[in-house]
A and B are shown apart, each in its own frame.
Chain A
Amino acid sequence: MPVNTLTFATCYHCGTSCAETEWKIDDKQFCCAGCQSVYQILNSNNLCSYYQFNNAPGQSTPDQHTHFDYLDEPSIIQKLVDFMDKDLTVMTVYIPAIHCSSCIWLLEHLHKLNKAVISSRIDFLKKEVTISFRHTELSLRQLVELLASINYEPLISSQDVVKEKKNSVNRNLILKIAVAGFCMGNVMLFSFPEYFGISSLEQQYKHLFGWLNLAFAIPVTFYCGRDYFFSAWAGLKNKLINLDAPLALIIAVLFLRTAFEVILQKGPGFTDTLSGLVFLLLLGQWVKQRTYYHLSFERDYRSYFPVAVTVIREEGEKALPINELVVGDRILIRNNEIIPADSILMKNEGYVDFSFVTGESVPVKKVMGEIIYAGGRQIGTMIELEVVKPVSQSYLTRLWNNETFNIPDNKIQNFNDRIARYFSAVVFVLAFGSAFYWMWFDDGARAWSAFTAVLIVACPCVLALSTPFTLSAVLAIFDRNRFYLKNTDVVEQLARIDTLVFDKTGTISSADASDFEFFGNLTKQQQILLASLTANSTHPHSREIRKRLAVTKKLSVASYREIVGQGIAGTVEGHTLKLGSSEFIGNSLAGNTLASSVHLEIDGQYLGYFRVKQQWRNGLRQMLAALRSGFNFHVISGDNAGDSAILSELFPADTTISFNQSPQNKLDYITTLQQSGNKVMMLGDGLNDAGALKKSDLGVAVTDNINNFTPGSDAILDGTSLRKLPQFISQSKDAIQTIRMSFAIAASYNLIGVYFAVQGTLSPLTAAVLMPVSTITIISFTSICTHYFARKNKLK
């Protein structure tokens, strides 16, 4: 009997710890055939510098063989490429595996792997590669297969993530800031002589400077500031005064008064205030526009679904874009492909993994004639299905066509917009009041200057600035704690939440099979047999079992076989071992209904089963205790009531816990809560929560790996940070408090200004000094406050 000592090594390619096995070349150990073949490809192309920049930079993708036949369809190619002519194609693809500098290096040296690639460039934060290649020598499909062969398989889905992100880069805003900054700098320069007083000798320059300033005011008003006019006008058309309305008015008044003074040679005008104001406002907008390149909050079912599916027609197999599928089509789903539409299983047995949909990763067995809902991933053999509903009308996808989503968002109106109305009213009363007052005394010129001065001084620019600066500081703090918000408005929504709705699997329990328990007894010898058997398999369950057994001996395995989605079997030292699902064992004793069990049989004798320990997220109990007062809890699960007892013990007594809820049930549940006046926060993870996430006032997608796909939501929360939820909520409440306080400070500055303004004696200098001083005070106040509160809430 050859008994080898099992020594543990790490894979040279992906760094996974693995036993020393036959995958070994050039003294380098690999964990699987996949990693080894990548190394061989790179080695034969002189690309081994890849391994020098980082230790074990690769990623293993065990046995996932995706078929790219559909990439030969011209209509699909058309959709995917950025540019195409007779000879050259340029395409941008999203590759989730990009994670380190080695990835950049390798993917930018693609031309060494294939001469037809002309150039490739990575955008690291977005995980995108733009590749230009000669399609006469290398087809799009071959290129994608080449990428897949080095374990950088691009993610191609119906919702084009790449193209949608392109529009999010706001170059226009940057250009406007540049122009406004440029004008502001120059205007300041030409205004200095006026500030310090111009001697009679230099009077000739006064008009020059005035005209120059007016010239700079034109682009500031009509280019940089134009969005405020559009937005204010759009608001007024809907009979709504938003914050942009007073801002637009002030910009207009500043410009008109400047033009009036310069043209009639009455004074220097307010160009310095105008350009400074616009510059700061735009800066505030820019701060607000924080984007997470690596996250997407807008995903719907289309980003989970493939671009095309193989259809069996009379003339043979053909790749068809999924939105062209019609009822009655026969489709072919291979191992690891996603079923795009509700359909009936017509041939072979299916093992369908619904982890995208429910968060539950253990495959469900389906037999012929059963309906399989869209969104499942087939594991194992190829199956044939007949489509019973078109893609957009399927059980899951129908949610997105729900009419509730077409009603404009009834998300809570933010503080700024609410206050803008009162603010505008007060300013108008003051402006007209002082104008009438001076008219009464028959001082027309003074009435005009008082009227305009009040509008200038009472600028709500601090409001427009304190909110984005405070909220974006909060966003940055949340970001450090792995809580990613879609935009700054979400902070205000978070502060108003009073009801929390949790999904179960994947949200408050973690979905990954990280801890196995064994139910039964194993002798030392049996453990060695089992460890030897599992050493042959790359399945995550096998790896975990092997790690748990911690056996260092390894025996050789004869007649090993592995049936995907079912189990593994083999003969070790004359003993026959079977490890897998109860159907695989074929033993009625193993009729354990729990799907997540792995059963073991040695020499026909049933020995017990391994089960994934239900893992509640860290600190769940403390989190619920901290939130107990002031929040209503609801648990809504798509699973069976198996965990009912544990859940009712974990949650407060008045918590409503419902099981076996369909995606539509979840959505309706949220609607009912909202109708009774609750502000609902939904925490979910799978596509089955997507409707509820979207409907709720604040939808939070909880995930174990933020680079994974998450359903469309307002925020993405890393599972390990779920316990910090009470801190996040109190931080957001503190942020609203900060904004209110900064508003009080701004109001006191404005009162000083208004004192001069109503008398009609506001000098351009006072205006020009008052504005930056109040701005600086507010911005430093908000950032100090936010960081103070972050420390208080233990988020730093």
Chain B
Amino acid sequence: MNIIYFLIGCSILMALVFLAAFIWSVKNGQHDDMHTPAIRMLFEDDKPTEDDV
């Protein structure tokens, strides 16, 4: 049953990774603006114009 020690260690470690990811995203400002990205993703990409080609 010593495997339990290993499994608990793994589970805490994984949980810590997710917590760290969340903390990073908050500090990065990803949660500051929850509204604009939802609109932005609906814009179509620009059609290439003749000068671009």
Contacts and interface: CB of A to CB of B under 8 A. Distances in A.
A101 interface: yes
A182 B36 contact: no
A186 interface: yes
Contact of A208 (B5, B15, B27): B5
Interface in A177-193: 178-179, 182, 185-186
B12 A186 contact: yes
Interface in A124-163: 124-126
A105 B43 contact: yes
A178 B8 CA distance: 21
A772 B42 CA distance: 41
B1 to A, nearest CB: 8
SS class, residues of chain A in contact with chain B: helix
Nearest to B4: A205
Given A101-B42, A104-B39, A178-B19, A171 B26 contact: yes
A182 B15 contact: yes
B12 A178 contact: no
B16 to A, nearest CB: 8
Contact of A122 (B12, B22, B36): B36
SS class, residues of chain B in contact with chain A: helix
Interface in A258-293: none
A174 interface: yes
Nearest to A104: B39
Contacts of B27: 171, 175
A789 B32 CA distance: 33
A104 B36 CA distance: 8
A125 B38 CA distance: 12
B49 to A, nearest CB: 6
B26 to A, nearest CB: 5
B36 A178 contact: no
Contact of B8 (A124, A175, A208): A208
Given A105-B43, A122-B36, A178-B23, A186 B31 contact: no
Nearest to B51: A46
B33 A186 contact: no
Nearest to A171: B26
A174 B19 CA distance: 12
Contacts of A208: 5, 8
Contacts of B19: 178-179, 182
Contacts of B32: 123, 169, 171
Interface in B1-53: 1, 4-5, 8, 12, 15, 19, 22-23, 26-27, 31-33, 35-36, 39-40, 42-44, 46, 49
A186 B15 contact: yes
Contacts of A179: 19
Contact of A125 (B22, B23, B26, B33): B33
B36 A124 contact: yes
Contacts of B40: 104, 108
A212 interface: yes
Contacts of B5: 208
A387 to B, nearest CB: 41
Contacts of B23: 175, 178
B4 to A, nearest CB: 7
Contacts of A104: 36, 39-40, 43
A108 B46 CA distance: 12
Nearest to A179: B19
Nearest to B49: A46
Contacts of A212: 8, 12
B31 A123 contact: no
B11 to A, nearest CB: 8
A109 to B, nearest CB: 8
B17 to A, nearest CB: 11
Interface in A26-63: 46, 49, 53
Contact of A124 (B22, B39, B43): B39
Contacts of A124: 33, 35-36, 39
Nearest to A101: B39
A205 B5 CA distance: 9
A540 B4 CA distance: 77
A405 to B, nearest CB: 31
24 contacts: A53-B43, A101-B39, A101-B42, A101-B43, A104-B39, A104-B43, A105-B43, A122-B36, A123-B33, A123-B36, A124-B39, A125-B35, A171-B27, A171-B32, A175-B23, A175-B26, A175-B27, A178-B19, A178-B26, A182-B15, A182-B19, A185-B15, A202-B1, A212-B8
Task: Give 3 nearest A-B pairs by CB, closest first.
Answer: A124-B36, A123-B33, A182-B19
